[in-house]
Structure 1
Amino acid sequence: MRILHLDSTWHIRMIENNENEYIYWINLLRRGDDQALSHYFQLHNKSLLYFATRLIENPEEAQDIVANCFVALWEKRSDFEADENVKAFLYISCRNACLNFLKHIKIKTRVQELFYKELVQNEDTVLYHIMRSEVLQALRMEIELLPENYREVFKLIYFEHKRTDEIAGQLNLSVQTVRNYKTRSVELLKTAMLKKGFSNALMLTILLALDGI
């Protein structure tokens, strides 16, 4: 019972610390401190960029859209009452800008036409891409935290699409060792993602995303 009490106390303190951090940054933003803008940029830029690029299939335009979202955030900084409002504003602004871009281009690719129709008709599509972009951003960060040997093998498999025997020869390892590193890497990533609050229901999304990360 004592252990459970300590775990409970620690969990409450973690929640309180997180809430204090959220309050700190939102107050800085409302006061016009550019450190807050930098904080939210680092927090959301990569996932927003993935989100926009995925929807409009135009990396250069996606960068402009995301940059403009942060400009709009700064212009409206005094309007935000809570940290989650910032995130919602950024994604809604990004979604609307992507929709506007797709609406006005004269010739759309098949994929662009598909996303345009889904953006107009189905909010679930937007939510899926928001979820996927956040999963991938968190996953990229966790990959960089893997032990060096695991990380090297993992990247060769999923980034460079090399076969197990190729990696074994390149790194002077046995084939079984490469397989062990791969298995252990995936286990560590799953554990890390669960600790970040991603549920088991997202594990399939994560594994499917690995090949295209």
Structure 2
Amino acid sequence: MLNELLSDDELLCQLKLGKKSALNEIYKRYFALLYAHAYRKLANKEEVRDILQDLFMYLWNNREELSIHTSLSSYLYTSIRNRVLNYFRNTKVRDQFVESLQKNSANSESLVEQRFHEKELIKIVEKEISQLPAQTRLIFEMSRNLEMSHREIASELNISHFTVRTQVRNALRILRVKLGTYIFSIFF
């Protein structure tokens, strides 16, 4: 009851001395005004309450170091305005972060899915290559895996380069039939 008669400056002095009754009086005097001010900017009851609670907790927790160079009302209005602006800034940063995570997650899932399909296709192709006749498979693998020319393969296996060319063509024809044109065009 005595606090109701105190000025804002006197309340601040009482607050700095650790009197909870001074904080309660500041709360009574300014809560409704600060709430209305913040709500006009934010229009979210829960967030406004949280911001106000944070402000009054800050006042109490930092009462000894509190240095107010303006009036208490100006300090409180400025504090609320800054806290609302911080809320918007933090919300924007959080939304950008979530959007970035979602985008990266979608890209990662797509990349993982793509790699999975590539591995499956490679297994299918390798299986079909392993079923080629032995000489055809050897020549084909030397051509594709070791990147040897037809002449190098012919020299290595002591056969005609025309035989090598024919064997590679045969391997490609067999694989094209077994794997289908689409898969074949991806790998060869």
Bin the TM-score by the shorter chain.
Answer: 0.3 to 0.5
Determine which structure has more spread, i.e. the larger CA radius of gyration. 2
TM-score (norm 1): 0.37
TM-score (norm 2): 0.41
